[in-house]
């Protein structure tokens, strides 16, 4: 009943061939899934489709390899270095469409890449020249910074000094803040200006010192451009995974 | 071994399924499957890989123009930019227009290369230089700086990371005859307005309330700012002679720059570290290009 010695060798060869065929089949299937996803309209993909689920699973692996270093394994970001949380519904750039996420992954943010998102930097109002792009922008006085912080805390519903907040409102309107963050301080996802009225803080945790540092030093967060480093299929699958994070990370 | 080669052992479904026994049919079938798999893999790679001569447009592209791919992402971006639609909602005419524009652009770029427009057009030259520098920078930007390297960078450049100093200072100007007495009166704690009135002085008006050090330096000038910086809160500087009279600085508040902790400075440290790495890489790249290039300089410029 036992397998003869020569038979064992043959059995091993057959098993190896079968394993290789399986691996090849898996690779081919992955390629086909990737191609299928790449050809589709990223915003019209059915999230329940098997190809999308497979793509997201592969995207999760890519996320851990390339993105988790800044955004964390769970995608919740890191406020100490301005890495945005990808697990909420507050999108810094765009409205959270897969195509928009894909654009950010491919071309990055301030990534020194030809099609990168680089429309605005937060000026450093505590420096002699707050903005290299806008030489007319003047630094804020120390008192103006303090009033502005009171105003920002007020629009978020945490204000404690109405007089200072009122002065801060005037500073906000007169010194260029509303040009990017809007008159209602709700930000502009077209240029990556954060909403200042919610409790989500890209840097720090909404304390006076964190806001002060943002005002004095300015902010210019970066995200690398992955086009040319990852394939189009990988970028699409990564985007599908990131798009799913707000739902899955609850 | 002998048993395996017996004819009755090599036939029948039982033998086909038993991996320990020889089956010519199974061997042939597996061989055929292997060959087919190999050919499929090779064919797929050959006809779909980027950069190869191919008759099939790879999935990530929408067209090949003289073998040069037009990326699907550019096509999608074009549809959104021009019509604000995705490919699913775009009409055939919209799709055709965007694709035609991209093909035409690619043909123009290829013709531009043939004509070597980069040799004469300053805009193309600048864009080319910028693109090459960006490509070099990408290596540094996609690398996550190791925490230890950031810490070392912070330690080496600590002076850059400090909270800006703040001061409230009044710049008072007196005649040379009155300056000494006015300084004594201010040091004794007499009200500023009284001293100004008594000694016919004036406030220069250069400063306005609480100011950052850099702003005070700009407003007061280097000499007066240096004197103010050395004067503690509540103090009065020694008389300083300037063209418009003798200046006395009454310093109401003077908070020197406070070094930022590593944690507080981390976003700036990370940014500066990456920028330094980018500059280093670009310099190395430029040096490498120079090293492998043949550069002849005119004799009068040597």
pLDDT(B56) > 90: no
Rounded to a whole number, what is the distance in Å from the CA of B212 to chain A's nearest CA? 6
Portion 28-67 of B in contact with A at CB < 8 A: 30, 33-34, 37, 40-41, 44, 59-60
pLDDT(B4) > 50: no
Residue A249's pLDDT band, with cuts at 50, 70 and 90, is low
Calculate mean pLDDT across residues B43-58: 69
Q: Does residue B261 sit at the A interface (CB-CB below 8 Å)? A: no
pLDDT(B46) > 80: no
Do the beta carbons of residue A240 and residue A45 sit within 8 Å?
Answer: yes
Calculate mean pLDDT across residues B18-29: 80
pLDDT(B39) > 70: yes
Do the beta carbons of residue B77 and residue A104 sit within 8 Å?
Answer: no
Residue B157's pLDDT band, with cuts at 50, 70 and 90, is very high
Look at residue B1 in the predicted model and tell me its pLDDT.
44
Q: Do A224 and B266 touch (CB under 8 A)?
A: no
Q: Do B19 and A127 touch (CB under 8 A)?
A: no
Residue pLDDT, tens place only, B94-124: 999 999 999 999 999 999 999 999 888 999 9
Residue pLDDT, tens place only, A64-120: 999 998 999 999 998 888 899 999 988 999 999 999 999 999 999 988 788 888 888
Percent of chain B with pLDDT over 70: 93
Q: Does residue B272 sit at the A interface (CB-CB below 8 Å)? A: no
pLDDT(B8) > 80: no
pLDDT(B9) > 60: no
How far is B29 from B37, CA to CA, in rounded Å?
12
Q: Does residue B94 sit at the A interface (CB-CB below 8 Å)? A: no
Please list the alpha-helical segments (H only) found in chain B. Answer: 2-5, 13-17, 24-48, 72-83, 92-115, 122-141, 147-156, 176-187, 192-198, 213-220, 222-230, 262-292
How far is A127 from B143, CA to CA, in rounded Å?
29
| Of A94, A77, A66, the residue nearest A188 (C-alpha) | A94
- Among A138-142, B10-14, B244-248, B256-260, the range scoring the smallest mean pLDDT is B10-14
State yes or no: ipTM above 0.85. Answer: no
pTM of the model: 0.76
Q: Do B164 and A31 touch (CB under 8 A)?
A: no
In chain A, which residues have their Cβ closer than 8 Å to the Cβ of B268? 217
Residue pLDDT, tens place only, A118-173: 888 999 999 889 998 888 899 999 999 999 999 999 999 888 899 999 999 999 99
Look at residue B282 in the predicted model and tell me its pLDDT.
93
**Which helix (H) or strand (E) is B242 found in, with range?**
strand B240-242
pLDDT(B60) > 70: yes
- Mutate which: A12, A41, A234, vs B, most B CBs within 10 A: A41
Q: Hey, which residues does B203 pair with through a beta bridge?
A: B172
Residue pLDDT, tens place only, B264-289: 888 889 889 999 999 999 999 999 99
Instruction: State phi, psi for A5 to the nearest 5 degrees.
Output: -55, -45
pLDDT(B5) > 60: no
In CATH, what is the architecture of B163-255? Roll (3.10)
- Mutate which: A19, A114, A232, vs B, most B CBs within 10 A: A232
Rounded to a whole number, what is the distance in Å from the CA of A249 to chain B's nearest CA? 24
How far is B217 from B214, CA to CA, in rounded Å?
5
Residue pLDDT, tens place only, A14-64: 889 889 989 988 888 888 888 889 988 899 899 899 999 999 999 999 999
Distances (CA, A) of A89 to A68, A92, A119, A186, A249: 18, 10, 22, 14, 11
Residue pLDDT, tens place only, B166-177: 999 999 999 999
Q: Do B86 and A106 touch (CB under 8 A)?
A: no
Instruction: State phi, psi for A78 to the nearest 5 degrees.
Output: -150, 105
């Amino acid at each position: 009943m036992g397998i003869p010695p020569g038979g064992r060798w043959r059995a091993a060869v057959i098993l190896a061939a079968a394993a290789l065929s399986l691996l090849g089949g898996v690779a081919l299937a992955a390629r086909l899934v990737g191609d299928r996803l790449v050809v589709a309209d990223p915003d019209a993909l059915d999230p329940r489709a098997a190809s999308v689920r497979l793509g997201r699973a592969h995207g999760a692996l890519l996320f851990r390899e390339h993105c988790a270093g800044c955004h964390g394994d769970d995608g919740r970001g890191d406020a100490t270095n301005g890495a945005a949380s990808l697990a909420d519904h507050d999108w810094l750039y765009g409205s959270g469409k897969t195509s928009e996420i894909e654009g950010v992954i491919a071309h990055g943010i301030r990534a020194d890449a030809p099609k990168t998102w680089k429309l605005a930097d937060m000026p450093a109002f505590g420096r002699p020249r707050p903005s290299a792009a806008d030489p007319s922008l003047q630094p804020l006085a120390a008192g103006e910074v303090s009033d502005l912080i009171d105003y920002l805390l007020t629009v978020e519903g945490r204000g404690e000094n109405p007089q200072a907040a009122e002065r801060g409102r005037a500073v906000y309107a007169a010194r260029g803040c509303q040009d990017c963050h809007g008159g209602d301080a709700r930000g502009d996802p077209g240029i990556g200006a954060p909403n200042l009225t919610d409790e989500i803080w890209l840097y720090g945790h909404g304390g006076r010192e964190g806001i002060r540092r943002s005002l004095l030093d300015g902010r210019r967060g970066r995200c690398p451009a992955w086009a040319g480093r990852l394939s189009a299929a990988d970028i699409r699958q990564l985007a599908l995974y990131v798009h799913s994070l707000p739902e899955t990370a609850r | 071994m002998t048993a395996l080669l017996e004819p009755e052992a090599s036939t029948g479904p039982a033998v086909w399924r038993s991996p320990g026994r020889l089956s010519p049919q199974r061997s042939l079938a597996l061989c055929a499957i292997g060959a087919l798999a190999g050919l499929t893999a090779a064919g797929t790679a050959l006809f779909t890989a980027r950069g190869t001569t191919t008759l099939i447009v790879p999935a990530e592209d929408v067209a090949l123009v003289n073998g040069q791919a037009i990326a699907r992402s550019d096509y999608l971006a074009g549809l959104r930019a021009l019509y604000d639609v995705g490919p699913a909602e775009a009409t055939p005419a919209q799709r055709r227009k965007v694709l035609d524009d991209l093909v035409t652009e690619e043909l123009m770029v290829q013709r531009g290369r043939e004509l070597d427009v980069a040799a004469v057009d300053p805009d193309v030259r600048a864009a080319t230089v910028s693109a090459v520098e960006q490509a070099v920078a990408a290596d540094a930007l996609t690398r996550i700086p190791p925490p230890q390297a950031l810490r070392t960078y912070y330690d080496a450049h600590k002076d850059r990371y400090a909270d800006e100093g703040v001061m409230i200072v009044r710049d008072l100007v007196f005649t040379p005859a009155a300056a000494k007495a006015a300084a004594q009166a201010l040091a004794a704690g007499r009200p500023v307005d009284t001293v100004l009135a008594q000694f016919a002085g004036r406030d220069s008006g250069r400063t306005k309330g609480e100011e950052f050090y850099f702003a005070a330096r700009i407003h007061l000038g280097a000499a007066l700012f240096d004197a103010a910086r050395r004067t503690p809160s509540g103090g009065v500087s020694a008389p300083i002679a300037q063209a418009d009279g003798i200046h006395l600085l009454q310093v109401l508040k003077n908070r020197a720059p406070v070094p930022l902790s590593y944690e507080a400075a981390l976003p700036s440290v990370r940014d500066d570290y990456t920028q330094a790495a980018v500059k280093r890489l670009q310099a190395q790249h430029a040096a490498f290009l120079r090293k492998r290039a043949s550069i002849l300089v005119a004799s009068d410029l040597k």
